[in-house]
Amino acid sequence: MGETVFNHLESADHVDAEIGARISAGEPDRGLTGNVTYEFRTAGKRLFQRGVVAHVTVDENGGTSDPRVFATGDATLPSKGMEEIPRQIADSLGPDKIQFQSKAIKVSDGSVTLEDGRIILGKQIVVATPEPVLQDLLDIKTVNRSVGESCLYYSTDWVPPFKEPFLLLNGDGYGPVNNIAFPSMIAKEYAPAGKTLIAVVVVDDQFIKRTDLEGEVRSQCREWFGDIVNKWEHLRTYQIEHALPDQSPPTQNPYLLPKPISENIRICGEYQSLPGLQWALMSGHMTGKNITKTV
Ligand SMILES: Cc1cc2nc3c(=O)[nH]c(=O)nc-3n(C[C@H](O)[C@H](O)[C@H](O)COP(=O)(O)OP(=O)(O)OC[C@H]3O[C@@H](n4cnc5c(N)ncnc54)[C@H](O)[C@@H]3O)c2cc1C
């Protein structure tokens, strides 16, 4: 895991380059390269755990979710937006199979009741909502907890001082920002020509309830990027109450599906697995396969 992450950390190269320059200038090595690089790598690993892993696991200590997914993969986005992923999967179902804007309020064996009063009948029902919703729909109590998150979007003419689409992690150990992504550096379609789209993620309820969250985020970004941040245009803040399942250890085994509620009602999604798109998709895939075996 480490090598891939650190090979992509621009500052790692700076550290090694700086040490290399000092050695070429005649400074004795004294094991410095090894130590400093080791210290940098250890600090980098902690930073990685606090940032990416905390984001996906919401566990400041690193949690037990598998960070290899983030460490070994590239930063990617569908150029037409995240919606393109379910859209392309749903294409194979044909038209009128999916109803949008239809809130479910109750699930029983054989039927789903919608908010507008309609009742949909089905032999097999899969509930793939966030867990708090699942509890209401099925009138059950589960012990799992969710954690809130805020996502603040900015537009700017400013160009970040690096060429690759890094996910920046907060290594300061304080402040509201967990990580910053630059979606328009991954797919140019995410911003008009000449503009950069910035997405700042703030994890945990203690921050998202602050009255001046935007001001605090801007102030922390100013520490990192300078006064240019004053010119960033704040586009919108999304407050997501149930953003991620709490991942305090022991976390779920994503390869084990949750016990079905009954013979005809199953649950899937990240709330009984690990947070992240790949686990949610895998959970849906495994559930679908199980249904085809029994129906
Ligand atoms: C800010 C943020 C950034 C993230 N970034 C990443 C990332 O970079 N990479 C990654 O892998 N993961 C990321 N994630 C996590 C990822 O979004 C989740 O792991 C994934 O969406 C979980 O999928 P799911 O199907 O379990 O739940 P969801 O995607 O939450 O789907 C649940 C669905 O249930 C629907 N629903 C809710 N209530 C009802 C109701 N009463 N009736 C009918 N439908 C209902 C909702 O509308 C929703 O469509 C991020 C999450 C957040 C919040």
Query: Is there a cis peptide before residue 78, judged by omega within 30 degrees of 0?
Result: no
Q: What is the pLDDT of residue 14?
A: 39
Q: Are residues 62 and 96 in the same domain?
A: no
| CATH code, domain with 121 | 3.50.50.60
Spatial distance between the Cα atoms of 185 and 74, rounded to a whole number of angstroms? 12
Q: What is the pLDDT of residue 15?
A: 35
Residue 25 covered by a domain: yes
* Cα 59 to ligand 1 centre (Å): 19
Q: What is the pLDDT of residue 71?
A: 67
Q: Are residues 140 and 25 in the same domain?
A: no
Residue 243 covered by a domain: no
Q: Are residues 6 and 135 in the same domain?
A: no
Please name the residue whose Cα sits nearest to atom 7 of ligand 1.
276
Spatial distance between the Cα atoms of 134 and 142, rounded to a whole number of angstroms? 9
Please name the residue whose Cα sits nearest to atom 48 of ligand 1.
129
Q: Which domain range does residue 6 map to?
A: 2-71
Residue 155 covered by a domain: no
Residue 220: both structure tokens together: 């922390």
pLDDT tens by residue, the chain, 295 residues: 233 222 333 333 333 344 344 434 544 333 333 333 333 344 444 555 444 544 554 334 344 445 555 667 777 899 999 999 989 989 988 888 899 999 999 999 999 999 999 999 999 999 999 888 999 999 998 877 788 999 999 999 999 999 888 889 999 989 999 999 999 999 999 999 999 999 999 997 788 778 899 999 999 999 999 999 999 999 999 999 888 888 778 878 889 898 899 999 999 998 878 888 888 999 999 999 999 988 7
Residue 66 covered by a domain: yes
| 8 A C-beta contact, residue 232 and residue 181 | no
For the entire predicted model, the pTM comes to 0.77
Residue 268 covered by a domain: yes
Q: Are residues 43 and 92 in the same domain?
A: no
Q: What is the pLDDT of residue 62?
A: 40
Last residue of a domain, one of 24, 41, 71: 71
Q: Are residues 20 and 141 in the same domain?
A: no
Q: Model confidence over 142-160: pLDDT tens digits?
A: 877 788 999 999 999 999 9
Spatial distance between the Cα atoms of 291 and 195, rounded to a whole number of angstroms? 47
Q: What is the pLDDT of residue 69?
A: 59
Q: Are residues 13 and 67 in the same domain?
A: yes
Determine the residue of 133, 166, 279 to mutate for testing ligand 1's pocket, defined as the one with the most ligand atoms within 8 A of the Cβ atom. 133
Q: Are residues 57 and 19 in the same domain?
A: yes
Q: What is the pLDDT of residue 245?
A: 84
Last residue of a domain, one of 25, 49, 71: 71
Residue 21 covered by a domain: yes
Sign, CA torsion 118/123/126/131? positive
Q: How many domains does the chain contain in total?
A: 2
Q: What is the pLDDT of residue 292?
A: 93
Residue 100 covered by a domain: yes
Place of tokens 């700042």: 200
Last residue of a domain, one of 47, 71, 95: 71
Q: Are residues 12 and 62 in the same domain?
A: yes
Q: Are residues 261 and 141 in the same domain?
A: yes
| 8 A C-beta contact, residue 126 and residue 263 | no
Q: Given the CA of residue 268, which atom of ligand 1 is nearest to it?
A: 26
Residue 200 covered by a domain: no
Please name the residue whose Cα sits nearest to atom 5 of ligand 1.
276
Q: Are residues 105 and 65 in the same domain?
A: no
Q: What is the pLDDT of residue 67?
A: 55
